[in-house]
Amino acid sequence: MATKDMFGEGELWEVFIQKETGAPHEHAGSIHAADSELALQNARDVFARRGEVVSLWVVPANCITASSPDDSGPFFDPADDKIYRHPQFYHVPKAVKGM
């Protein structure tokens, strides 16, 4: 049976906006739409009403895999004890400039 609920509001899409060329695309929020074309149009109407956006990405929300905050400690740990990846780790004679 085709009920109104079955169609709902369409699929959930995450929206990423770029505010000027050269800037990264940033997550702005989400919208609902039946397909990618409508998703782009809805995203434009919701997140780009004032011309402050030069590019839009829409991604089906279920295509995004995110790290989990529960294991964010252990997951990002490997980077913690690698101080030799930072320039401060290396000693340079004081008199040397431009290092």
Partner 1 sequence: MNTSDETTLLERFKSRISAGEKIEPKDWMPERYRKQLIRMISQHAHSEVVGMLPEGNWITRAPSLRRKISLLAKVQDEAGHGMYLYSAAETLGVDRRELIEQLLSGQAKYSHIFNYPTLNWADIGVIGWFVDGAAIVNQTMLAKCSYGPYSRANLRICKEENFHKRQGYEIVATMAAGTTEQREMVQDAVNRWWWPSLMMFGPSDNESPNSAELLRWKVKLHSNDELRQRFVDLTVPQAQAVNITLPDSELRYDKKTQHWNFGKINWEEFWNVVKGNGPCNRERMAARQKADNDGAWVREAAVAYTMKQRMNR
Identify whether the C-beta of residue 47 lies closer than 8 Å to the C-beta of residue 41: no
- 30, two tokens: 């989400």
From 47-55, 79-87, 88-96, span contacting partner 1 (CB under 8 A) = 47-55
> Distance between CA atoms of 53 and 43, rounded to whole angstroms?
11
Least CB distance from residue 90 to partner 1, whole Å?
A: 33
Report if residue 68 touches partner 1, rule: CB under 8 A. Answer: yes
When asked if residue 5 is in the footprint of partner 1 (CB under 8 A), the reply is yes
Binding of residue 33 to partner 1 (CB under 8 A)? yes
